[in-house]
Amino acid sequence: MPTLSDIKRRIVSIQSTQKITSAMKMVSAAKLRRAQEAIEAARPYAQRMRETLEEVGGGETNHPLFEQREEKARVEVVVITSDRGLAGAYNGQIIKATEAFVAERRTGATKVSLTIVGKKAADYFKGPRGIEVSSARPVGPNVNYLEAKQVAGGLISRFESGEVDEVVIIHNEFVSAIAQNAKIVPLLPFVPPVAGDDAEEGTEAQAPYEIEPNPERLLTSLVPKAVEVELFRALLENQAGEHAARMTAMENATKNTEELIEKLTLEYNRARQAAITSELVEIITGAQALE
Amino acid sequence: MPLDLIVVTPQGEAFAETVEQVVLPGSEGDFGVLESHEKFLTALKPGPVEIILPDGSSEWAAISDGFAEVSGSQVVVLVDECFKAHEIDLEHAQHTRAEAERELAELLAQSASEEARVEVETTLVRASAMIEAHGRHHG
């Protein structure tokens, strides 16, 4: 039977845990809002980029980054997780999806290697997992475009040189604040958007653009940018998803501490009552003995 | 007279205003856009941009490489980054440029990988564009 002071100590300790988890929840909520704003801010750029690409690339299919290779000697997987834990199953599901993907794609002639963004995946795959890691970097506190550009640039040059034949991204898709799903997105070879899917009536009748220097040259600089944007979007979604997952995890943790404190308080009160009762019994029996 | 200039970066819309004229650093040379310019699509190189406002005053900004799409009375500029002249920290830009120049000289001396060189060159061009935009704005 724990003593009164034992129970009291446990209650105090759980209360301080509760303070931490509820503070973390609030911080995550604020960061989530900012991350969502960043996603919103990036949307017009991605949208216009796609429109421009449709304009220039319509019908053009011989760009080096569009090349579908029959034989795939090496598949590169960009794995995106968070840097920190305490976010529920957020990173676990990415790692699981990655392992499943690697197991599926790694056959006789095909090698699979990983480009990791995020310390959690980096730590996991650093161990003896039998999966080659070509590079690993942290996500950092704030996603910025230049970083996405750097990673994309490396992948593009490896694709162009023929070292890598296919690139896919595995990241958490930000569905909502309570749902993030692991998603596999093909990055290279790049699939050009097809004009006409969402083209409004009458747009085709418009005069074509004068393109300078010429469509081929413009496409050469446009396509890598579209790849960068795709990677940037994945990083932004990862950022929002991480904060959302942590917010949910911390909310649950806070709820659990509340339940635990309630249970312990009950136990504490029972123990106190038992102590009082036994004291009373002692006094009464003592008094009776004197009569 | 009215020409809508919209500068979009991955961080959001950097500029959206009605202007008189805009001069952009195209890959084939600088070009100015007035209203009812013919439909036109071009690559941009990093450099200063001159924006002439309806009241005749001009404003400068530095952009990274990207694209410009001109159609009728609208100019859409898609770039990685855009800094308005008054937001530019001149000292920081000069420091960055000096640093990048030194690094580039080092890389060239030891014939480093192309990737590393391109990265430093990008930083250099970016800092130079910022300094130039700042200089034009205040000069």
DSSP string across chain B? --EEEEEEETTEEEEEEEESEEEEEETTEEEEE-TTEEEEEEEE-SEEEEEE-TTS-EEEEEE-SEEEEEEETEEEEEES-EEEGGG--HHHHHHHHHHHHHHHHHHHHTT--HHHHHHHHHHHHHHHHHHHHHHHHH-
Instruction: Looking at the structure, tell me whether residues B94 and B80 fall in a common domain.
Output: no
Instruction: Looking at the structure, tell me whether residues B110 and B79 fall in a common domain.
Output: no
Instruction: Looking at the structure, tell me whether residues B104 and B134 fall in a common domain.
Output: yes
Average pLDDT over residues B99-117: 83
Task: Give strand pairing partners of A117.
Answer: A80, A137
User: What does the radius of gyration of chain A's CA atoms come to, in whole angstroms?
Assistant: 29
The pLDDT tens digits along chain A (291 residues) read: 678 889 999 999 999 999 999 999 999 999 999 999 999 999 899 988 888 888 776 666 678 888 888 888 889 999 999 998 888 889 999 999 999 999 888 887 788 999 999 999 999 998 887 888 888 889 888 888 888 988 998 999 899 888 999 999 999 988 888 888 898 999 988 887 776 554 444 444 456 778 777 777 788 888 888 899 999 999 999 999 999 999 999 999 999 999 999 999 999 999 999 999 999 999 999 999 988
ipTM tops 0.90 = no
CB contact under 8 A, A41 and B12: yes
Tokens 């910022």 -> residue: B130
Instruction: Looking at the structure, tell me whether residues B70 and B103 fall in a common domain.
Output: no
* DSSP assignment letter at A182: E
> Based on the structure, what is the number of domains in chain A?
1
pLDDT at A106: 84
Instruction: Looking at the structure, tell me whether residues B15 and B59 fall in a common domain.
Output: yes
A–B: how many Cβ contacts below 8 A? 82
Domain that holds residue B49: 3-85
pLDDT at A14: 95
Say what the pTM is: 0.84
Nearest to A184 by CA among A170, A167, A173: A170
Chain A touched by B71 (CB under 8 Å): yes
Chain B touched by A93 (CB under 8 Å): no
Task: Give strand pairing partners of B4.
Answer: B18, B74
In a domain, A214, yes or no: yes
> Based on the structure, what is the number of domains in chain B?
2
Query: The domain that contains A56 carries what CATH number?
Result: 3.40.1380.10
Query: The domain that contains B32 carries what CATH number?
Result: 2.60.15.10
pLDDT at A207: 62
pLDDT at A134: 87
Instruction: Looking at the structure, tell me whether residues B115 and B131 fall in a common domain.
Output: yes
Q: Which of B85, B100, B116 is the last residue of a domain?
A: B85
In a domain, A97, yes or no: yes
pLDDT at A201: 42
Pairwise CA distance, residues A218 & A86, whole Å: 45
Mean pLDDT taken over chain B: 86
CB contact under 8 A, A45 and B119: no
Chosen for mutation from A146, A156, A223 (greatest number of chain B CBs closer than 10 Å) is A146
Instruction: Looking at the structure, tell me whether residues B63 and B94 fall in a common domain.
Output: no
Domain that holds residue A141: 26-194+209-247
In a domain, A48, yes or no: yes
Q: Which of B69, B85, B101 is the last residue of a domain?
A: B85
